[in-house]
Chains A and B, each alone.
Chain A
Amino acid sequence: MKDKKMNKQLSEQELLNKTAKLPLEMAPERDLWTGIEKAIHGQTRKSANLSQGNKVIPMAWAASVVAAVLVTWLSFSPQQATTPKLNLLTVMQQDFTEQKQAMLVSYGQPKISQLPQEMQDQLSELASARQAIEKALLDDGNNSDLLNLLRWTQKQELDLIKQLYSPKWQSI
């Protein structure tokens, strides 16, 4: 009996042939994706944080440029009389406040204080720059350059909030 078995023993090449024919794919019996999706759904990917951090760097530059331009402007520009353009400043402030509020509401009223410190700093710098421009406009309401600078700064602030809170990880 044993001899018969020995005679029939698989050769190494036959084993390798059988091995080469093994299925490389198998389907799990249960659905695995649901668990994976749950696990990654609420995750803030470390690299995503880094990626967001990278996007914030231009904002830091923007805030710095705004601050530098503003300081230069306030130092060297002649004082001008206040004009009805103050109304435009008021409209721009109201419009900005409404947009910002609507945006924050749409993101579930997130707390700025829960953001990483670096991002809080960027938001704070932009807000400071915006407030400084608004203050300058109170004394020089006719100045279209300052108005443009204010508009641009407001946009940077809104863009940053959008980047920080946009729910792009939940696209499914």
Chain B
Amino acid sequence: MILENYVPLTGDDWYQRRRQDTEGEFFRQVAAQAGRGKVHENSDGGATRQGVYLFTADGTLLGHTIATRSVERTYQVLQRGLRQWHTLPKDKRQPGAVHVEAPGTHDRRYTRTPPANGLIVHVHARILDKDAHGRWRKGSCDVLGGDQASHDRLWLTEAEWRSLIPPDPKVDTSAQVPAAVLDRMTRYHLVDNTRGEPAMWKPEEVRTRELTLTVTEVTPERVRLQLVGAALMATHSDLAQAERGFDARLEGIIEYDVARQTMSRFDLVAVGHPWGESKLSPRARAGRQPFGVAFELATGDTPANRVPPQGARNMAAYLGTAR
């Protein structure tokens, strides 16, 4: 397999092209060899450089293609890159031939790390349909890949996730999910990101939202809570005039491991009928079509799990700490 010949790496161009540090400069000089932007940019980063880049550890470009969903085209580029690699002198290719310098300081404006002892929750969205018996099934659309599940992560601080667990839980007692948590979930995660970068909801576009936690089980080992609620987001207070919107019902279950003092389950589903589309995610299905969002606890400290939420580009706004 051709990927066995490469070290596979992913990146978010929004951060990489803006960062003013060794890493950002290295990336921009690789991209510049492909005719994508300048090495020296101010912090707006210039134009997008998204695509596939093949290069050596010291930054010599071997191949490039703009972003494409064509498997064939990508495969050809990977093959050409390998051929280019093998034209390099052997003493440039052998293990240990290249010295990689330490990265130095990081541009903290474009560096994101999960909150200490916080919770990372996978968030997937998918278009849905119903079969002839009224049962949910995967939806279909005419956008290549638009029927697949999207990916994002919800970050909660330690104080936030602990606030979901009552200090003295008793079965059948209820409480509302704290506003800061619910605001983040609705504004940044009840969005349609199945075809591209979604528009997040402005605070005033969240028209109604409630999510009630009810304790359903308390044992020496665990506390289980049920989540039930609803949310309505719309770009206009008069729904008939709203270009975009999403009315969602939410249901879920969370569990707290008493002995380990950790959250052990965070299963939540939001299902409803969004309408409209945003600039970077065009070609939505016409009208109001069923759509679902699933939340699930991330497990393991993997690079993929540490990828920041899409909404974390403005970290202060995402965490609700902006003044």
| A and B together in one complex | no
Residues of B near any A CB (own CB < 8 A): none
